[in-house]
Amino acid sequence: MPPKNNKGGAKAKETSEAKQDNDNSKSQTVFERAQAAYDLTRPPYDKEREELGGLHKLSTVEKTAYASWFCTAPDELNFLSKKAQKELWKQVNETNRPLRRGQIDQPKRDQWGKDRLGRNIGDYTVLQYERRIEKQARLTGLKALGRSFASKRLYASRGLVDSSTGEKYTLTEEDIQAERDRRMEMAALKKDLYGEKMGPYSTDPEWDDVVPVPQMEPEGALSAIAYPEDYAESMSYLRAVMAANEHSPRCLRLTEHIISMNPAHYTVWLYRFANIQHLDMPLLDEIQWLNGVALDFLKNYQIWHHRQLLVDHYHPIIAGSPDEVKRFAKSERAFVMAMFAEDAKNYHVWSYRQYLTRKLGLWENEEHGELDSIEGMIDDDVRNNSAWSHRFFLVFSNPRYANPDSQATEADPGVPADIVDREVAYAQAKIQLAPQNQSPWNYLRGVLVKGGRALGSVKGFAEQYVQNLGDVEKEEVLSSHALELLADIYEEAGDKGEGGLVLAEAGREVGSHTLRVLGVEAEVSEGG
Amino acid sequence: MQNRTATTANTGVDEEVVSQMADYTTRGSRLSIDSLYTSEPLIVDPLVTATSTAQDRTLDQCLPLLKAADSNLEYNANGVPRLHRERHIKYLEQTLGNLPAPFVGADASRPWCMYWALNALSLLGADVSKFRENLIVTAAHMQNKTGGFGGGFGQTSHLATTYAMVLSLVIVGGESAYEVIDRRAMWKWLSSLKQPDGGFQMSLGGEVDVRGAYCAAVVISLLNLPLDLSSDSPASAAGLADLYTGLASYVQRCQTFEGGISAKPDAEAHGAYAFCALGCLSILDAPHRIIPRTLNVPRLISWLSSRQYAPEGGFSGRTNKLVDGCYSHWVGACWPLIQASLGAPSQPAHDSEFCSFYDREGLIRYIMSCGQDHSSKGGMRDKPSHRSDAYHTCYVLSGLTSAQHVVSAVLAEEEYVANMAWKVSPYSDPQLFDEQDRLNPTDPVYAIPQRKREEVMTYFLSKPGF
């Protein structure tokens, strides 16, 4: 005995309401819509029950109606008493609500979960929610396509035949590109929907076979770094391929990526070189790349050891051709000079230059050679001690005449006298430009020692810079380094009185600490 | 100073010098600062080059601080600012905490961060034992099964990071910290780094330099590792007798014509490598025996003494380079070893005047005025134009403590020379700084608190073999 409603009218009314609802529903939140739907299906007296604080607060009639509504499905009405049936139908008509067993649960605001920003999805507008559902559907579809790609790749790798076409499964470059695009889209969707980030490696099918080894920092680790995601991901792939001892072009690209983020990572550099060795990569390509990195990271240390390893590795290949060696030397020198334009005293670059000189045998001063280049640098800045130091190495370690076992602080009879003369004259000419510049003075001493000459051989030269010593009125000291050298010259000649005067003078000129140190030096020499 | 006019005539800075002198005199009545530390050098060449320009810029930033002319700072009666001890402690503790993303460049040197912070904290008298448990788990995580410590988890073992990690463990001390180290694996790994020329590679396939010589000697001696080479090592195949074979002669080949020490043969003399060389030699044998036998000491002293500049008072690392606070340690720590090299330890023949091979006052002035970050950030720095960092905080403070103490060798046990005893006494002549700004002393060879060095050596001496 269902109630007789004017179905047509109700429908018409519903449609217009639905339309209105539909417009509202787009701005309504998901929770509000669910709450509204729930309200529509609530049994009679449910609200009252809730508000009064329990079933026992309802009257007997109300209680019965509530229980009947709640427990009875339409085909079970016969189980109720006639009176109860009558009351129930009355309720149905009054509330205009459907009668069915198993009411929907009261919605909770947080039952849809949270989005990546921690916002309740229940607070989404319906329109926003529909868009989210569409994205989830899209993601599911992409995943399915990804699975079929993975299967196809597996079949192709096993040489299986596709029974529908009778041909072997093959994976084309288009397939791989499509998968790559798919992963990019999936990564974007996952990030958008769930805040899950997929880095460039987990989205690249080329890296599917690698199980990354993440850095599991122990609880309480000291100086722990909050790694940027890109860095953390690439490092976890690096650990995996290093553990597998893999050497491949993709590993090279991985090292390049990590180096761009942290060039001081020695492990990555050593591993990169192992890859180059293994793959027998062309030297010049790597050098070319390295030049850019070196100019980007001027203070970096590892770059220069890497470069040295490269040259060690390739030298045997070019060693047989003097032209090739010359060409290579020229381009290396050009690059080193580009580095010096940024920092003319870069210790690592100078060390590399010394290494290169030995390795390629750049001792003799061919046209625009090493010695000319160094002279140019000394002309640019006569105080550049690194350039002076390199010159000393160039002149006094030349294997053509130098004794390879000779210490830097001892005489080497192998060095020809004309070279010693040339270098003494060179140092003296540079001292004249700026007599208080210590570099050429140290150089001059070094040359005299190497040449086995007495310091006294330059006494006259040094005295130019120290005049009328001891005469307070006329005294003129242009260089404390000349004073120090003179002190040693006097000592060499056994004239301690004069030496003491010079030392005292040096102390006044340069500061008390130098006096003390020079005093110690004198004492050490006397003691010895 | 009476010869000022004789030299300034050629420099064209006569008036400037005179005005600075006047400035000094007026201040001098209130603050006693010798003009050596407040005026430009007496001899300055007129020729301008890149080097002299950089030097002038450095003087411009240092002089106001050295003259006590910075109105934002509090100076004592000697014109020396206070040590910002609490701020430095806070800064160092931050280094041991969680570091933000920009520190990614330090990912391969985290053991260094730990050593710098822990060592500097112990110099400052802060409690480092509270970091013991966390250091132990961190170290265990960075140790490789094949021996040694990398810069982080999964990184190749490296001598520098191994040195830093071992020292960190020794600084926090205690058996549980010592026992983190797998000594057998360490010994095998060190054997594989040993080169036929006597030196050490920094890592397998890495560079060979004098840092390697020092770091290896420190690790071997602290842990009392057997000196025999592992039989499967290339150095053993090359016929070397043990881990120390040829090491002193490798160091010897690094002395340059200037008298200083370079990173490797053929290169330029550099302050940091001078310390590595002297430290390494002082472990191999007593300094008074091995240093004169290996190096040209007068030339080395001459070069080292040239590292201190006036008026800055700080040290530079190379000829014609700028002062940098970190050389307060690298160069400053050479002096006790040089001093020890001049006489047998049993006869401390040198008087107190002899204890100052360099100008302690100048160095202390530079460190307190220019080497401290005076902002609320704390920490120590290269020079006033630079930001403070953990590296400089460690080495500037190490330099400060060596300037504040006289350290001399007193005894060398013949069997085990590395376990040398050093007599430490406070240096106060003149007393420039407030007594509460005196730091704890440091071991001149190992750059950690001496007591901690003795504890670990005693521990491992009782454990021969593995």
ipTM: 0.91
CB contact under 8 A, A266 and B203: yes
What is the enclosing helix (H) or strand (E) of B409? strand B405-411
Of A393, A443, A524, the CB nearest to B266: A393
Tell me the per-residue pLDDT of B166-208, one tens digit each, with 9 for 90 and over. Answer: 999 999 999 999 999 999 999 999 999 999 999 999 999 999 9
CB contact under 8 A, A223 and B117: yes
Question: Is A90 near chain B, with CB under 8 Å?
Answer: no
Taking the CA atoms of residue B452, residue B458, residue B463 and residue B465 in that order, the dihedral angle to the nearest 10 degrees is: 80
Chain A residue numbers touching B386 (CB-CB < 8 A): none
For chain A, positions 450-489, list CB contacts with chain B under 8 A.
Answer: 450, 472, 474-480, 484
B15 CB neighbour count, 10 Å cutoff: 9
Of A218, A409, A513, the CB nearest to B362: A513
Where do we find the tokens 């020890």? Answer: B340
Mutate which of B5, B138, B320 to disrupt the A interface (most A C-beta within 10 Å)? B320
Encoding tokens for residue A23?
């417009």
Question: Is A215 near chain B, with CB under 8 Å?
Answer: yes
- Check residue B272 and give its pLDDT: 98
Chain A residue numbers touching B155 (CB-CB < 8 A): 265-267
- Check residue A45 and give its pLDDT: 74
Check if the beta carbon of residue B212 is closer than 8 Å to that of residue B219: no
- Check residue A502 and give its pLDDT: 63
Looking at the complex, report in whole angstroms how far the Cα of residue A232 sits from the nearest Cα belonging to chain B: 10
Q: How far is CA A66 from CA A3, A279, A528, B374, in A?
A: 19, 81, 115, 78
> Which of B446, B451, B440, B449 is CA-nearest to residue B418?
B446
Mutate which of B1, B98, B319, B356 to disrupt the A interface (most A C-beta within 10 Å)? B319
CB contact under 8 A, B6 and A475: yes
Mutate which of A213, A219, A225 to disrupt the B interface (most B C-beta within 10 Å)? A225
Chain A residue numbers touching B259 (CB-CB < 8 A): 409
Looking at the complex, report in whole angstroms how far the Cα of residue A502 sits from the nearest Cα belonging to chain B: 14
Mutate which of A233, A269, A395, A513 to disrupt the B interface (most B C-beta within 10 Å)? A513
CB contact under 8 A, B156 and A265: no
CB contact under 8 A, B140 and A514: no
| E-assigned strand segments in A47-184 | 161-162, 167-168
CB contact under 8 A, A309 and B2: no
Question: Is A363 near chain B, with CB under 8 Å?
Answer: no
- Dihedral sign, Cα of residue B342, residue B348, residue B349, residue B351: positive
CB contact under 8 A, B45 and A439: no
Residue B372 phi, psi (nearest 5): -100, 140
Check if the beta carbon of residue B170 is closer than 8 Å to that of residue B452: yes
Where do we find the tokens 């030397």? Answer: A329
CB contact under 8 A, B95 and A223: yes
- Check residue B16 and give its pLDDT: 43
Report d(CA B142, CA B300) in Å as an integer.
Answer: 38
For chain A, positions 422-451, list CB contacts with chain B under 8 A.
Answer: 433-439, 442-443, 445-446, 449-450
Looking at the complex, report in whole angstroms how far the Cα of residue B184 sits from the nearest Cα belonging to chain A: 22
DSSP-derived secondary structure letter, B33 = -
Max avg pLDDT among A1-5, A159-163, A358-362, A512-516: A358-362
Chain A residue numbers touching B180 (CB-CB < 8 A): none
Q: How far is CA B214 from CA A164, B16, B163, B211, B263, in A?
A: 71, 46, 9, 5, 11
Cis peptide before A218 (omega within 30 of 0): no
B324 is catalytic: yes
Q: What is the mean pLDDT of residues A445-474?
A: 92
Count CB pairs under 8 A between chains A and B: 271
CB contact under 8 A, A266 and B108: yes
CB contact under 8 A, A345 and B321: yes
Question: A359: exposed, middle or buried (C-beta count within 10 Å: 0-12, 13-18, 19+)?
Answer: middle
| E-assigned strand segments in A170-232 | none
Prediction pTM value: 0.81
Of A410, A511, A525, the CB nearest to B36: A511
Report d(CA A458, CA A424) in Å as an integer.
Answer: 9
- Check residue A24 and give its pLDDT: 58
- Check residue A347 and give its pLDDT: 97
Closest chain B residue to the Cα of A507, Cα to Cα: B1
Looking at the complex, report in whole angstroms how far the Cα of residue A379 sits from the nearest Cα belonging to chain B: 10
Cis peptide before A212 (omega within 30 of 0): no
Average pLDDT value over all residues in chain A: 85
Looking at the complex, report in whole angstroms how far the Cα of residue B321 sits from the nearest Cα belonging to chain A: 8
Report d(CA B222, CA A200) in Å as an integer.
Answer: 45
User: For chain A, how long is the longest CA-to-CA vector?
Assistant: 139
CA A324 and chain centroid, separation: 36
Report d(CA B198, CA B196) in Å as an integer.
Answer: 5
B321 is catalytic: yes
B389 is catalytic: yes
Where do we find the tokens 């570091």? Answer: B99
Q: Which of B87, B158, B188, B270 is catalytic?
A: B270
Q: Please give the full DSSP string across A389-413, using - where no structure is assigned.
A: HHHHHHHHS-TTTS-TT--TTS--T
Please identify every stretch of chain B with a pLDDT value under 70, giving residue numbers as ranges.
1-30, 344-355, 411-419
Mutate which of B119, B268, B276 to disrupt the A interface (most A C-beta within 10 Å)? B268
CB contact under 8 A, A227 and B97: no
Tell me the per-residue pLDDT of A329-357, one tens digit each, with 9 for 90 and over. Answer: 999 999 999 999 999 999 999 999 999 99
Of A475, A476, A517, the CB nearest to B301: A517
A411 CB neighbour count, 10 Å cutoff: 15
Looking at the complex, report in whole angstroms how far the Cα of residue B13 sits from the nearest Cα belonging to chain A: 14
Q: Does residue A510 have a pLDDT over 60?
A: no
Q: Does residue A117 have a pLDDT over 90?
A: no
CA A478 and chain centroid, separation: 51
B327 is catalytic: yes
Question: Is A389 near chain B, with CB under 8 Å?
Answer: yes
Question: Is A499 near chain B, with CB under 8 Å?
Answer: no
Report d(CA B392, CA B382) in Å as an integer.
Answer: 6
CB contact under 8 A, A218 and B158: no
Chain B residue numbers touching A518 (CB-CB < 8 A): 305
Of A221, A397, A475, the CB nearest to B134: A221
- Check residue A497 and give its pLDDT: 65
B326 is catalytic: yes
CB contact under 8 A, A478 and B137: no
Looking at the complex, report in whole angstroms how far the Cα of residue A405 sits from the nearest Cα belonging to chain B: 9
Chain B residue numbers touching A440 (CB-CB < 8 A): none
Chain B residue numbers touching A262 (CB-CB < 8 A): 104-105, 107-108
Chain B residue numbers touching A219 (CB-CB < 8 A): 137
CB contact under 8 A, A382 and B49: yes
